[in-house]
Amino acid sequence: MNETFKALSDPTRRKILDLLKERDLTAGEISEHFNMTKPSISQHLKILKNAELVHDVKKGQFVIYSLNTTIFQELISWAIHFTQKTNGKEE
């Protein structure tokens, strides 16, 4: 989970996730939304992939990136854990 929080800590990576929330995109399509080099975008995508926040699938000469919603569900479950009480005590 540490890798996930590290990946989420960067505003560029959060914006990439917002873009992928709308639809699956190639690295080139993602890079069109930023004023940075394609290798920089690739590095951000690598971090997101290592944190398992995104999936990538090769289709022909393109790599298509999409959100891994399972990780987001796990994060939500983890966070909700802190709002639940057990035996009259907060955990």
Q: 1-5, 7-11, 21-25, 65-69: which range is least confident on average?
A: 1-5
Q: Confidence class of residue 7 from pLDDT cuts 50, 70 and 90? A: very high
Domains, the chain, with CATH or none: 2-85 (1.10.10.10)
Structure confidence by residue, pLDDT tens digits, 28-66 = 999 999 999 999 999 999 999 999 999 999 999 999 999
Using the Cα atoms of residue 24, residue 22, residue 34 and residue 6 in order, give the sign of their dihedral: negative
Q: In this predicted model, which residue has the larger pLDDT, 79 or 33?
A: 33
- Where residue 87 falls (left for φ over 0; alpha for ψ -120 to 50; beta otherwise) is left
Write down the pLDDT at residue 87.
Answer: 60
Give the separation between CA 2 and CA 9, rounded to whole angstroms: 11
